[in-house]
């Protein structure tokens, strides 16, 4: 449970948050027309007669968009409504050619579901919370107005007009900016696992309407405000921080919070009023008479369910339980679907290459994926050609390291060369002399020399100065030009020092 509180002049306040997230559905064509949906096309290049609302044009539902929304609903353990219906939401605006948005008010496609969020990323098991999902419905996106193309006129780009959105409506279950942030991140992760939304917030593929109210702990809900179209996790959190504080200030100054729609200004991190309830549109919702009710059969639902991948929570539990990874590593590996995919590919290659079980190599692979490899890639910057970053090359490096042929440092050096050149890791190790020796004879000679050269330190170590062990290791490695297998060095030193 969150104990986030606003400290007001008159005492503590609790924040209540609900989110409506609009997620653009991944599909080749729009919700009710055959026009394409790719981002970044020339204005009005992806507009059908339906999208432009020409006279006599009719919407026809796109099966793939419905399928994606159903799969999303299944991924959050939600009720899938086999009978749903589209409604028209009527209002005039230049980016809305029909004069109405086709949405689902009365009978949404997806009903109640839930998402489990993790409040501490370092300790995913430690503090979790379930956020209720009220519904998911599908609807059309609007077009876009461009105000910077002409001195006195605004232009309209209808490429986005009619693109399918899922509106994912949470219960007012969140109590802090951190919880809301964790919810948006988790939702994004799930959507990207399912493949129903690319989760790209910069391109507007995911935007949130943030509902915020404040109350004294334990009292009924206060009046809420809705801040529209917030397009990053950070901005969602800022919106809540600012809006909650503003509401507390209003109430403590003797005022009342007005139910209204607000806008977030990313430049100032504040919100401002857009329109109050009195000015709110009367959307005159009614069932769209151009469309029949949407009825889903069992075969369709079964196909949707069968097509779902392993979801992030299940994956995380498997990584911990079956692979023996730490909760932190499991959480990190499953946060992005691409990371998990890379991990699993490399895990399989590595286990095969080393002739071991996946569990035996899982920690090595996890450390490589999460910290070592990203470190090298980041250090190289644009010098790294990620096309060279193949699972086979990574697995080869890990295998050499596991066999003791190369040290951790050498692994990084080889990886660096692989990324720059695409050369074969084994060939690099040979050609560049990036191998460590496990030749006991050579190492033993070096150890003997070090001990012989430092009789005083040997004496001191035997007298109880344990810390000198590192000194002997260092001297031996130095004598071996860093290419000795540290494990062999350790073993020999321990043996000779008694």
- Select the span of 52-60, 130-138, 236-244, 366-374 touching another protein (CB under 8 A): 52-60
The residue assigned the tokens 């996790």 is 233
Which contacts qualify for 451-457: CB closer than 8 Å, 24 or more apart?
A: 451/496, 451/497
Q: 103-132: which residues touch another protein (CB under 8 A)?
A: none
Give the shortest CB-87-to-another protein separation in angstroms: 10
Is residue 259 part of the contact set for another protein (CB under 8 A)? no
Is residue 162 part of the contact set for another protein (CB under 8 A)? no
> What one-character DSSP code corresponds to residue 373?
H
Tokens of 179: 């919880």
The smaller minimum CB distance to another protein, of residues 287 and 391, is found at 287
Q: How many residues comprise the chain?
A: 498
- Judging by beta carbons within 10 Å of its beta carbon (0-12, 13-18, 19+), is residue 43 exposed, middle or buried? middle
Distance of alpha carbon 303 from alpha carbon 174, whole angstroms: 33
Q: DSSP for 175-198?
A: -SHHHHHHHHHHHHHHHHHHTS--
Q: DSSP for 406-432?
A: S-HHHHHHHHHHHHHH---HHHHHHHT
Phi (first) and psi of residue 284, to 5 degrees: 45, 50
The smaller minimum CB distance to another protein, of residues 86 and 193, is found at 86
Q: Is the dihedral of CA 340, 343, 349, 353 positive or negative?
A: negative
Number of Cβ within 10 Å of residue 378's Cβ equals 9
Number of Cβ within 10 Å of residue 169's Cβ equals 18
Give the shortest CB-56-to-another protein separation in angstroms: 4
The smaller minimum CB distance to another protein, of residues 61 and 486, is found at 61
Among residues 85, 88, 316, 483, the one that binds another protein under rule CB under 8 A:
88
- Select the span of 126-134, 219-227, 281-289, 473-481 touching another protein (CB under 8 A): 281-289
Give the shortest CB-167-to-another protein separation in angstroms: 20
Q: How many CA atoms lie within 13 A of 381 on its CB side?
A: 1
Among residues 7, 10, 11, 58, the one that binds another protein under rule CB under 8 A:
58
Distance of alpha carbon 353 from alpha carbon 399, whole angstroms: 7
Q: Strand runs (DSSP E) across 216-291, as ranges?
A: 225-230, 260-265, 270-276, 286-287
Among residues 202, 282, 299, 456, the one that binds another protein under rule CB under 8 A:
282
State the binding string over 8-47 for another protein (x if CB under 8 A, else -).
----------------------------------------
The smaller minimum CB distance to another protein, of residues 277 and 359, is found at 277
Is residue 99 part of the contact set for another protein (CB under 8 A)? yes
Closest residue by Cα to residue 168 from 65, 73, 95? 73
Give the shortest CB-48-to-another protein separation in angstroms: 11
The smaller minimum CB distance to another protein, of residues 56 and 220, is found at 56
Is residue 497 part of the contact set for another protein (CB under 8 A)? no
Give the shortest CB-59-to-another protein separation in angstroms: 7
109-142: b (≥16 Cβ within 10 Å) or e? bbbebebbbbbeeeebeeeebebebbbbbbbbbb
The smaller minimum CB distance to another protein, of residues 42 and 282, is found at 282
State the binding string over 285-324 for another protein (x if CB under 8 A, else -).
xx--xxxx--------------------------------
Give the shortest CB-142-to-another protein separation in angstroms: 13
Which positions touch another protein (CB under 8 A)? 49, 52-61, 88, 90, 92-94, 97-100, 154, 156, 282, 284-286, 289-292
């Amino acid at each position: 449970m969150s104990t986030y509180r606003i400290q007001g002049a008159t005492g503590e306040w609790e924040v209540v948050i609900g989110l409506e997230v609009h997620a653009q559905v991944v599909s080749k064509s729009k919700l009710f027309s055959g026009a394409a949906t790719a981002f970044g096309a020339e204005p009005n290049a992806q507009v059908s007669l339906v999208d432009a609302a020409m006279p006599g044009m009719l919407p026809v539902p796109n099966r793939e968009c419905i399928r994606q929304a159903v799969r999303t609903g299944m991924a959050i353990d939600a009720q899938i409504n086999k009978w749903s219906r589209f409604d028209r939401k009527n209002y005039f605006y230049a980016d809305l050619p029909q004069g109405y948005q086709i949405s689902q008010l009365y009978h949404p496609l997806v009903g109640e579901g839930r998402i489990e969020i993790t409040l501490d990323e370092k300790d995913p098991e430690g503090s979790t919370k379930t956020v209720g999902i009220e519904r998911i419905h599908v609807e059309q996106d609007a077009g876009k107005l461009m105000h910077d193309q002409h001195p006195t006129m605004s232009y309209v780009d209808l490429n986005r007009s009619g693109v399918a959105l899922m509106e994912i409506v949470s219960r007012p279950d969140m109590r802090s900016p951190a919880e809301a942030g964790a919810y948006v991140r988790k939702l994004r992760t799930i959507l990207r696992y399912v493949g129903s939304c690319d989760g790209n917030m910069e391109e507007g593929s995911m935007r949130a309407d943030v509902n915020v109210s404040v109350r004294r702990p334990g009292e009924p809900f206060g009046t809420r405000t809705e801040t529209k179209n917030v397009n990053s996790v950070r901005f969602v959190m800022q919106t809540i921080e600012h809006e909650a504080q503003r509401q507390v200030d209003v109430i403590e100054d003797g005022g009342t919070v007005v139910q209204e729609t607000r806008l977030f200004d990313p430049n100032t991190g504040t919100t401002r009023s857009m329109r109050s309830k009195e000015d709110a549109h009367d959307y005159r919702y009614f069932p769209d008479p151009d469309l029949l009710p949407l009825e889903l059969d069992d075969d369709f639902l079964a196909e949707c369910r069968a097509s779902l991948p392993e979801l992030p929570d299940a994956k995380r539990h498997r990584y911990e339980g079956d692979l023996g990874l730490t909760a932190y590593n499991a959480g990190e590996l499953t946060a992005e679907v691409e990371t998990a995919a890379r991990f699993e590919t490399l895990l399989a290659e590595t286990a095969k290459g080393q002739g071991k079980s996946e569990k035996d190599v899982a920690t090595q692979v996890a450390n490589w994926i999460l910290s070592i490899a990203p470190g090298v890639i980041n250090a190289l910057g644009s010098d790294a050609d990620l096309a060279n970053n193949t699972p086979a090359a990574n697995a080869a490096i890990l295998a050499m390291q596991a066999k003791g042929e190369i040290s951790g440092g050498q692994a990084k050096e080889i990886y660096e060369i692989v990324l720059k050149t695409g050369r074969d890791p084994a060939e690099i190790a040979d050609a560049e002399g990036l191998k460590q020796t496990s030749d006991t004879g050579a190492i033993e000679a070096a150890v003997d020399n070090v001990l012989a050269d430092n009789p005083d330190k040997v004496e001191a170590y035997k007298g109880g100065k344990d810390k000198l062990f590192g000194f002997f290791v260092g001297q031996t490695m130095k004598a071996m030009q860093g290419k000795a297998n540290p494990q062999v060095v350790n073993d020999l030193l321990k043996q000779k020092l008694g």
